[in-house]
Homo-oligomer: A and B are copies of this chain.
């Protein structure tokens, strides 16, 4: 379960909730442009330093995506940490999904059908730094799974999460939330906090170095 709640995986969940057929996640703007050349009817979403890159249709904005009708459409989504985290865990034996608060309950319900669940926080700063918002989202999902499967064995990160009252509220209290406020992305931040607003589970269908294709589970 890969979490990059501000904003990549929130935007992904919202896109599928708005009817998206498939999503190609890529690590950088150049890869996104190359993918669009090969698939000209795909919509281009993404960011560079928080902003919509030149030639892109949309930013990496859940609030913006929520206003779109994406039924039957295909998207290319350029996002650094989110894609890196998806690629880092995809390609192994497990099933990889993208999670945020907007699809937390759906992801928890989906995850409960598996024997083992690993929650992966994408993190900040090239993924080296602990991010409060990703951990808070993981804690929300871990608490949900634990409530339904009280006998499940917990790893140390999940054990810690059981100590936290209302983790979802912490998504807006980390350093990256402040960065988004500085950029003027208050709408996205507010949207990212709407638990279960977009109850879709995006799942990785195929992947390679620097890219992953997701569809609805």
A183-200 Cβ-contact flags toward B at 8 Å (1 or 0): 000000000000000000
- Residues of B close to A131: CB separation below 8 A: 156
A189 to B136, CA, bound (A): 29
- Binary interface profile of A, 174-215, with partner B (CB < 8 Å = 1, else 0)? 111000000000000000000000000000000000000000
Q: Which of the listed residues A124, A133, A175 has the most CB atoms from chain B within 10 Å of its own CB? A: A175
Q: Which of A26-34, A71-79, A105-113, A159-167 contacts B (4 or more CB under 8 A)?
A: A159-167
Chain B min CB distance to A154 (Å): 9
Known: A130-B156, A156-B129, A156-B130. A170 touches B163 (CB 8 A): yes
Give the distance to chain B from A10, nearest Cβ to Cβ, in Å. 18
Cα–Cα, bound, A173→B160 (Å): 9
Q: Of all chain B residues, which has the CB nearest A174? A: B156
